[in-house]
Structure 1
């Protein structure tokens, strides 16, 4: 067996020194360029250029050779790091590809993208066909070279475009959305083209058979990825999140998928970047891979691995080659063809697509930026032996030049595009949704023993998340279940029960059938709750836990697994300072759970007649005091009302002054009523934006809680939704006197949303 020698001490020292210098200079220049409003990628690329033969090699040739011209195998170590950075960068690009955005902009985005691809692809192909042979690494493969140049001319740089749009605060405007959507379609087609051309280059033969094989390979991979692969990725990430519940596990899973898909596409004769990009798109559609996890992956990529990739790419660029008159002239021609092709293609289709001239200029200027994407294309072309060093340097220079042009053009043209009222309304709604409490709930836990209250809570949860991709975990707390986290089936529980009875733990054997009936009844209740939850858009999962310890410990253990909301159904016990409003189990969960809670308590009528759970909800009473917790409750009420087609009555009760205040001078309630009117009007406006039917009420009373109960009774409210922040008092959670009065005395079910 051949023994593989490890890296020598000196080889390891050199590669660590290389990475240290490259990362330091890349980050330094990247931040410097960002500070003056230019893309960081330009600075990171310049770091490699300056550390390469163009400057460092001229100023200090000895140091340059000692650090970067050690051996071919030594440089391959850098290439490995570069490829890891490239794969991660393509995952990030895929994560930024918003399929919903592309669908929303539909026809216009596709028309713009086709204009931005077909024209530059055609002009790029023609350019590649007429360039002198000295710019082709393998002159016999001019067709592949021309296709490669055409692909390089067609691609756009989404990261550069997005950065400029964010800086100008127009990323959510119509023109910003169109640029991103068209750019995403552009890039998606570009990566497919690149994989196809790279596949042809690898075969070394360009004929109908090889071309058809490559195209079919790409289509097969995409077809499997977006059907079977989509489900595998989504279910795996969900399973990992449920089983482990850490961001690190999700990041590792995404990277494993990217590496595996990259290996598959590389094995198929395509490029690893195609697999990484597709995985990024698929992972980005899984709501468990949320903003926080995505941000962690992007931060790690864009702060470490991407700068290293660009710096290493810059090392290969030789500025001295551009000083040659022939190379310089060809470079200018390539730059002109790149700009004219992209601008001409976009402007040519912008008017038929219904866009103004300024919108066409803005979109053309943005999509003309090649940035990181062009550098990736150039790197692959050089590695495949398609490009010479001079051609590589020209393409990288085009990437830098067009990336520097884009911000200036967009800053000049965007202010000239007027915003319509419809666009302004849409932007306001999207800003609300981005900050929305309900809209950002992705994982919800509903513990239950099958009680009427939790059955009604399940109904509210189903309505609350009817149109949202929220994952609901139904935690079934079953005294007959195994303590195993996987729970147990009916047969297993009956077996354990039989063993227990055989040991004489419970009275007579006559108890057996009764226990069996209890188990079956419990299972039926759990099944009904699960069936009700399945009506919402997200996934529903049943978890069964035994009662080796207390119920509160069981709930809290599960609640610490990364949930956004815990929904609790529970009867009320009392409202004095010592007795918990709800059971001590629920009281303890409310105080100790790490996320917001919603407690649902049904009315006595529903408890007596469980069939009333299915009665329609026609009117919802929403008390509000204008606080953050009231706003969260309002969001929940409007979501339920929209699903149930119910009317929401938004009520604010002004507290009458105490007798001592009246005696002191007769307080004027007009100001308080005016403020109350502003509060309910603000909530009503939100309700209308969300599609709910609303009415408002402002009243005054000595006891606001009693006034709310009377209002609910008088107007036949079917549900009351309230917001609260619990406050510690004695040994129990205290919701405030008004909330506790309403919960205890309400004639209908009450849902109290406790925001943390």
Structure 2
């Protein structure tokens, strides 16, 4: 076996220096343009031109030659980095693409794309047919040359457009998504045209078979991607998150998918960027790839790889060739035809598509950017012997100039596009979802012993997780085999101890300690899980059964399991008698609440539910939501609104203003009117969120000497079905303490109570 020698010392040094210079200049120019109100992509595009023969080669030819006048194999090292940046940029573009919104605007996007293809293609073909023969490699190839110019005029640059939209912060707006959708259709048609023209150049005859194969390949790939690929990507990301739970692992997984899909589309005769873009779209629909992980990937791409891609793309251009008057004149004509053709085509159909004048200008300005896509087309034409060096430089110049024009046009026109109410609500909802507590639940842990309390907890989890792509793990803790032998006695080897995760027995006896009951090794554990699963019903994510053996307290196993990347631990537990020194819950639940690394939700059932377990399935018509305006109260509000939406329940948002005691001399009294105004603002803020999510809400602000007692009275008067509260645990003696008002409601409410606690 022949051993491949590593890259030479000088070659490695040179590529590192090249990347250093390119990234430094690209970022400096990018930040410079950002500081004057222009997108950074403009400066990054210019970096390659300035470092190429146009400026550096003219001012310091020795430096330029030592850096960039290298062998083809050496320059290919840079091109590999460039393609990696291009793939990552298209992946980011896919992540930001709302496929449902694009589909809803599909007809308009196709209409715009046809206008942006047909008119530039016709004007480009006419231009190529009448250009002077000096710009054609062979007069016999006039037809091929004209078709190639037409294709070059029709193409748009999705990476440049995407980066401009990202930097202008409009990629999530309807106009941004419409530009992306039209651009993708435009480019797909453009690559098919390019394949046809390239086949014609190679064979000298119109290769319609090649075009048909290309179209078929695109349809096959997209069909497989959005069926088999969608499921494969979703299941793999979920498995990686469950098994590893690392952001690094998720990023690596997504990048592997992008590279694999890029390799597949390249093998099929398509472009690697198509595969990367489609993977981005599919990953963007997987909830496990959270906004935080996405932000990390976007930051890495836009800070390092995208600037390198844009800078490397401009290195091939030589402005010196444009100094010739004829070449310069033809270049201006080509630029004019390119802009008029694209703008004319878009503006011509925008009115027919029901778009405003400013929307047409914005879309025309965005799709007029050719960027590196046209540079790639020009490179292919040069390699196939279709273009002369002068014509190559003209096409590259058109690509750069149109890319510089696009952000200026879009920055000028976008503010003039009025945002509709539906679009505004969609964007506000998306911004809320980025920081939403409920929407970012990916993994939930429910320790269970099969009691009424955990069954009711499962009954509340069901509407909470019904439409979320969140996985639910049911956990049963059992003593280890060694521990179990000391307790089996006459029950022999078939018996097994299942650890109770609470301190109240099935008959309701308070013990305050963890009890152990003899249960069958498999049948009883299955009964525990089945009793909870019956209350769950269907949820969007997966439900798993976990059994953990423990030599000590069940709390140890629950806490150890909770460290595995869970976003919420749900505990079903009745409260014990209220006492300042005794735990409010059993020792196990009390410890889990105190030490859990993630938020905990404790569900405490009422005596009525305990006496009649069949009432667990009763509909929830009214939810009481006390709030004090804290972040935890906000999270509890999200839980209440989500349950209310699924149950079609009414949420009453309550804020209780505590009365001042007459003998409280150490407290500075705030005017009652001011406290009531603050209370109104608090409940109105939560009510606005509820209405935004679509829930039915009413608000109440009241005054009481004892807020906890007032909340219990309100729950009793309004016949509330459940109370949902948010509270942070507070250090007090050796037990979890939620505060006197929350604990009073927990122990005295006539209905089940849910307390969401953040660590």
- Decide: shared fold, TM above 0.5: yes
Q: Which residue of 2 aligns with 1:489?
A: none
Q: Distance in 2 between matches of 1:139 and 1:597?
A: 77
Q: Distance in 1 between matches of 2:465 and 2:695?
A: 15
Residue 472 (str. 1) matches residue 471 (str. 2): yes
Q: Distance in 2 between matches of 1:117 and 1:559?
A: 55
- Indicate the larger mover: 324-333 or 136-145: 136-145
1:240 Cα offset (Å): 1.0
Q: Distance in 2 between matches of 1:164 and 1:156?
A: 13
Q: Which residue of 2 aligns with 1:660?
A: 663
| Structure-2 change in CA distance of 1:420 and 1:186 (3 Å) | closer
| Structure-2 change in CA distance of 1:345 and 1:143 (3 Å) | same
1:421 Cα offset (Å): 5.2
1:130 Cα offset (Å): 4.7
For each residue in 1:597-640, what CA deviation from the matched residue of structure 2 results, as whole angstroms up to 9, or x when unmatched? 22211112222332221111011111122222222222221111
Residue 580 (str. 1) matches residue 579 (str. 2): no
Q: Which residue of 1 aligns with 2:714?
A: 711
- RMSD (Å) for aligned C-alpha atoms: 3.3
For each residue in 1:520-540, what CA deviation from the matched residue of structure 2 results, as whole angstroms up to 9, or x when unmatched? 243134135346545233343
Residue 684 (str. 1) matches residue 687 (str. 2): yes
- Indicate the larger mover: 339-348 or 675-684: 675-684
- Indicate the larger mover: 333-342 or 421-430: 421-430
Q: Distance in 2 between matches of 1:666 and 1:5?
A: 81
| Structure-2 change in CA distance of 1:166 and 1:548 (3 Å) | same
Q: Distance in 2 between matches of 1:706 and 1:178?
A: 53
1:286 Cα offset (Å): 1.5
Q: Which runs of 5+ in 2 are unaligned?
A: 497-517
For each residue in 1:322-375, what CA deviation from the matched residue of structure 2 results, as whole angstroms up to 9, or x when unmatched? 222333233222222222222222222222222322332233233333345444
For each residue in 1:299-339, what CA deviation from the matched residue of structure 2 results, as whole angstroms up to 9, or x when unmatched? 22222222222222211111112222333233222222222
Residue 569 (str. 1) matches residue 572 (str. 2): yes
Verify the 8 A CA contact 2:575 2:747 in the aligned structure 1: yes
1:140 Cα offset (Å): 6.8
Q: Which residue of 2 aligns with 1:557?
A: 560
Tell me the matched-pair count. Answer: 735
Q: 1:508 aligns with which of 490, 493, 498?
A: 490
- Indicate the larger mover: 678-687 or 275-284: 678-687
Q: Distance in 2 between matches of 1:622 and 1:17?
A: 61
Q: Distance in 2 between matches of 1:199 and 1:112?
A: 23
Verify the 8 A CA contact 1:446 1:472 in the aligned structure 2: no
1:160 Cα offset (Å): 5.0
Q: How does 1:582-601 map to 2 (within 5 A)?
A: 582-601=585-604
- Indicate the larger mover: 42-51 or 203-212: 203-212
Q: Which residue of 2 aligns with 1:123?
A: 123
Verify the 8 A CA contact 2:621 2:650 in the aligned structure 1: yes
Q: Which residue of 2 aligns with 1:232?
A: 232
Verify the 8 A CA contact 2:609 2:615 in the aligned structure 1: yes
Q: How does 1:164-179 map to 2 (within 5 A)?
A: 176-179=173-176
Verify the 8 A CA contact 2:683 2:700 in the aligned structure 1: yes
Q: Distance in 1 between matches of 2:539 and 2:345?
A: 44
Verify the 8 A CA contact 2:87 2:276 in the aligned structure 1: yes
Q: 1:194 aligns with which of 191, 200, 209?
A: 191
Q: Distance in 1 between matches of 2:667 and 2:406?
A: 69
Q: Distance in 1 between matches of 2:421 and 2:298?
A: 34
1:643 Cα offset (Å): 0.6
Residue 346 (str. 1) matches residue 346 (str. 2): yes
Q: 2:752 aligns with which of 731, 749, 753?
A: 749
| Structure-2 change in CA distance of 1:9 and 1:705 (3 Å) | same
Q: Distance in 1 between matches of 2:185 and 2:4?
A: 41
Q: Secondary structure at the match of 1:454?
A: helix
Q: Secondary structure at the match of 2:488?
A: coil
Q: Distance in 2 between matches of 1:177 and 1:354?
A: 14
1:476 Cα offset (Å): 1.7
Q: Secondary structure at the match of 1:62?
A: helix
Q: Distance in 2 between matches of 1:664 and 1:547?
A: 50
| Structure-2 change in CA distance of 1:665 and 1:131 (3 Å) | closer
For each residue in 1:491-540, what CA deviation from the matched residue of structure 2 results, as whole angstroms up to 9, or x when unmatched? xxxxx89xx99x78621147847966574243134135346545233343
Q: Distance in 1 between matches of 2:657 and 2:745?
A: 16
Q: Secondary structure at the match of 1:439?
A: coil
| Structure-2 change in CA distance of 1:243 and 1:140 (3 Å) | farther
Q: Secondary structure at the match of 2:489?
A: coil
TM-score scaled by structure 2? 0.88
Q: Secondary structure at the match of 2:751?
A: coil
1:704 Cα offset (Å): 1.0
- Indicate the larger mover: 419-428 or 178-187: 419-428
For each residue in 1:355-410, what CA deviation from the matched residue of structure 2 results, as whole angstroms up to 9, or x when unmatched? 32233223323333334544455455556665544344333322332233233333
Verify the 8 A CA contact 2:170 2:176 in the aligned structure 1: no
| Structure-2 change in CA distance of 1:505 and 1:659 (3 Å) | closer
| Structure-2 change in CA distance of 1:147 and 1:696 (3 Å) | same
Q: Distance in 1 between matches of 2:133 and 2:537?
A: 64
